[in-house]
Amino acid sequence: MARPAAHPLAGKAMSGAQVIVQVLADEGVGAIFGYSGGAILPTYDAVFTYNEEQKRDAGRQMPLIVPANEQGAAFMAAGYARAGGRVGVCLVTSGPGATNTVTPVRDCMADSVPILVICGQVARASIGTDAFQEAPVAALMGSVAKHVFLVTDPARLEATVRTAFEIARTGRPGPVVIDLPKDVQNAQVVFQGQGQLAIPGYRARLAELTASALTDSLAAGFFQLLAEARRPLIYAGGGVINGAAADELTEFARTFGIPVVTTLMGIGAIDTTAALSMRMLGMHGAAFANYAVEDCDFIVAIGARFDDRVAGDPRKFARKARRMAHLDIDPAEINKVKSAHWSHVGLLPEALRALIAHGTRTGFSADFSAWRAELDQLRRRHAMNYDRDSELVQPHYVIEEINRHTRGEAIISTGVGQHQMWAAQMFDFRMPRLWLTSGSMGTMGFGLPAAVGAQFANPARLVIDFDGDASIRMNIGELETVTTYDLPIKVVVLNNFGDGMVKQWQKLFFKGRLSGSDKSLHKKDFVRAATADGFKWARRLDRKRDVPAVIEEFLRFTGPAFLEVIIDPDAGVYPMVGPGLGYDAMITGDFIPARPQEGPAGEIEPSGMF
């Protein structure tokens, strides 16, 4: 076997900062998101000189995208990673620069998103002295990141950065943080062009995962369970998308005729317009999706973790399911919430291909047409609906109009709240990595910076930040970032003057006491704010009859565009399953028909009431 060619820069003397930048280039980084400061200036200077050299040699540059603050930078890196399927990179200074990224790092850990955060740090001799802009990054990040490195030996810097990328993207992806003293950045080292740190335990687990083939006997056990089923249902989570298994999931579902529900993070794992798609399940899942879970007799969980927003009361989740199968890359998820009768830990694409091959080779056949017909009927009877006669602008109508133009092919990012759930319920997504939202952490302010990162990852695709008035306030400074880089992002703000989701909960569970949730936030003129930040197209939409024309103009505008929509302040997100409850307690609201449910003693009670 021929030895790989040596790196063209191997043996060259470089500063630590130059080494970092060269490794980023070697890893194919397409953009760096960050905010400068004293402790990271050597690396910022190295990025500048690298890009100048690439300009002269017609090489590939790494644009440095400067946000309004470091939280925005890390969420941009997350949006880049989620939309592009690559490691996003965030480069910030020490102290407050680093601590401002703690929330995005935890957000990425919770949703298994691979980013690399490189934080400047005070010089090694000053660590622990409460020096200016010093923060204990390793201690802070150690509990929220997949891994943290504090680099104290300049000779190990190159290997550390390469290893950080490896850890971020492999196995169950996640955020990795490098705490980088300023004197290490300035140190002179010899560039090797290769090499990684010794992390034998981690690599041994990865090798075990990779080698964990789904055997014929295990596959046969799965198909024995499937043969006994009459109403099987696939429950697909974000692991399908993170594991690049969406194509295999779709093929698996089609080959054996099994319908699919997805979690919030799994949206796009199967085309939402496909016949087998039953859309999103859970707390705000479609009524027909939750009824499907109630009725199924065999659950096949793939890359999903039975979180509390899906299995509010685990004892009641899929109560009629006699068997449960679980495929995941993380052994910690198996039997964590629900016991599996059959399970496999390994890479999802390979596992699904093995099941497809075994079923095809052995001639497995089962007729689930009656079950699919039942689900088609559920879809029709309990379809998403809203107050179509209201004179006020309903958020659902806005989504329907946008969706009519985008046809499930736009990237949609969101903040967190009611607008997030309406978007999840009603937008179409024809493929994975078009839906970007903060799932497990539920971080308000995620949507706008994530849209920026997504646009850099996919320059040719339409990117829409679908946001709420309270959520966008959290990182509203990034409006200027959009126009500074002339990104054709479309920003929609649904304005119901306050924290709509919190108000909905307060109305349902706290006798309507709106403690702090309206905050009297009625003063902000979002259109003038967007105009001040450089948006050439910025409009307010408050009349129902204007919705189609304004949305068409908004989406056709070639540059950044901002649309504030004044929506019905009392519009609610339905269906809704209260926290810790089963799907039998689902509230369907006034416009989605509910079906009778069996009560504890066998009596029938309406599920549309709470």
Using 50, 70 and 90 to split pLDDT, how confident is the model at 462? very high
Among 202, 231, 249, give the residue marking a domain's end. Answer: 202
Stretch (H or E) spanning 146: none
pLDDT (0 to 100) of residue 609: 27
Using 50, 70 and 90 to split pLDDT, how confident is the model at 56? confident
Stretch (H or E) spanning 528: helix 526-532
Name the token pair of 329: 């890359």
Predicted confidence (pLDDT) at residue 520 exceeds the cutoff of 80? no
Nearest-CA neighbor of 339 among 326, 330, 329, 348?
Answer: 326
Same domain assignment for residues 140 and 31: yes
Q: What is the CATH number of the domain that holds 244?
A: 3.40.50.1220
Same domain assignment for residues 33 and 167: yes
Same domain assignment for residues 436 and 482: yes
Under a CB-based contact definition with an 8 Å cutoff, are residues 51 and 45 in contact? no
Nearest-CA neighbor of 486 among 557, 548, 420, 422?
Answer: 557
Under a CB-based contact definition with an 8 Å cutoff, are residues 551 and 401 in contact? yes
390 assigned to some structural domain: no
Taking phi first (over 0 means left), then psi (-120 to 50 degrees means alpha), and beta for anything else, what does residue 495 get? Answer: beta
pLDDT tens, 407-447? Answer: 999 999 999 999 999 999 999 999 999 999 999 999 999 99
| Section 548-559 average pLDDT | 98
Same domain assignment for residues 305 and 406: no
HSE value, Cβ hemisphere, 13 Å, CA-based, for 133: 20
345 assigned to some structural domain: yes
368-372, 499-503, 541-545: the lowest-pLDDT one: 499-503
pLDDT (0 to 100) of residue 601: 37
Q: At 324, phi and psi to the nearest 5?
A: -140, 130
| Burial class, 226, CB count within 10 angstroms (exposed 0-12 / middle 13-18 / buried 19+) | buried
Nearest-CA neighbor of 448 among 76, 98, 157, 22?
Answer: 76
My answer on whether omega of the bond before 200 falls inside 30° of 0, hence cis, is no
pLDDT tens, 365-417? Answer: 999 999 999 999 999 999 999 999 999 999 999 999 999 999 999 999 999 99
Q: CA-CA-CA-CA torsion for 545, 551, 554, 555, nearest 10 degrees?
A: -160
256 assigned to some structural domain: yes
- Structural domain including 358 reads 212-381
Residue 385 CA, chain-centre distance (Å), reads 26
Under a CB-based contact definition with an 8 Å cutoff, are residues 184 and 154 in contact? yes
Same domain assignment for residues 451 and 536: yes
609 assigned to some structural domain: no
Residue 576 per-residue DSSP state: B
Predicted confidence (pLDDT) at residue 598 exceeds the cutoff of 80? no
According to DSSP, the β-strands at 176-181 and 596-598 are: unpaired
Same domain assignment for residues 166 and 185: yes
Average pLDDT, the chain: 95
DSSP labels, 230-244? SSEEEEE-HHHHHTT
Same domain assignment for residues 251 and 313: yes
Name the token pair of 153: 């030996």
**Percentage of the chain lying above the pLDDT 90 cut:** 91
443 assigned to some structural domain: yes
Residue 435 per-residue DSSP state: E
Taking phi first (over 0 means left), then psi (-120 to 50 degrees means alpha), and beta for anything else, what does residue 5 get? Answer: beta
Q: CA-CA-CA-CA torsion for 103, 458, 116, 347, nearest 10 degrees?
A: 100
Q: Tell me if the pTM is above 0.85.
A: yes
Q: At 182, phi and psi to the nearest 5?
A: -65, -35
Predicted confidence (pLDDT) at residue 247 exceeds the cutoff of 60? yes
Residues with a known catalytic role:
70, 132-133, 182, 501
Same domain assignment for residues 184 and 55: yes
pLDDT (0 to 100) of residue 523: 83
| Section 507-534 average pLDDT | 87
**Percentage of the chain lying above the pLDDT 70 cut:** 97
Q: At 201, phi and psi to the nearest 5?
A: -65, -45
Q: Which amino acid is at 297?
A: D
Predicted confidence (pLDDT) at residue 65 exceeds the cutoff of 90? yes
Predicted confidence (pLDDT) at residue 608 exceeds the cutoff of 50? no
Same domain assignment for residues 40 and 125: yes
597 assigned to some structural domain: no
Residue 416 per-residue DSSP state: S
| Burial class, 388, CB count within 10 angstroms (exposed 0-12 / middle 13-18 / buried 19+) | exposed
pLDDT (0 to 100) of residue 603: 39
Residue 419 CA, chain-centre distance (Å), reads 16
599 assigned to some structural domain: no
Predicted confidence (pLDDT) at residue 151 exceeds the cutoff of 50? yes
pLDDT tens, 125-140? Answer: 999 999 999 999 999 9
Among 156, 171, 202, give the residue marking a domain's end. Answer: 202
pLDDT (0 to 100) of residue 600: 44
Distance CA 26, CA 33 (A): 17
Name the token pair of 66: 């400067």
Stretch (H or E) spanning 485: none
Using 50, 70 and 90 to split pLDDT, how confident is the model at 304? very high
Same domain assignment for residues 156 and 40: yes
3-state helix, strand and coil shares in percent for the chain, rounded to the nearest 5:
40, 15, 45
Among 141, 171, 202, give the residue marking a domain's end. Answer: 202
Under a CB-based contact definition with an 8 Å cutoff, are residues 493 and 521 in contact? no
Same domain assignment for residues 310 and 343: yes
Distance CA 597, CA 319 (A): 13
588 assigned to some structural domain: no
Instruction: Report the number of distinct structural domains present in the chain.
Output: 3
Distance CA 388, CA 239 (A): 36
Distances (CA, A) of 267 to 130, 213, 360, 425: 45, 27, 27, 10
pLDDT (0 to 100) of residue 327: 98
Q: What is the CATH number of the domain that holds 189?
A: 3.40.50.970
Distance CA 458, CA 80 (A): 8
Distance CA 464, CA 419 (A): 13
Under a CB-based contact definition with an 8 Å cutoff, are residues 304 and 348 in contact? no
Quickly count: other Cβ atoms within 10 Å of residue 525's Cβ.
11
Distance CA 249, CA 355 (A): 11
Residue 470 CA, chain-centre distance (Å), reads 20
DSSP labels, 436-474? E---SS--TT-HHHHHHHHHHH-TTS-EEEEEEHHHHHT
Same domain assignment for residues 363 and 278: yes
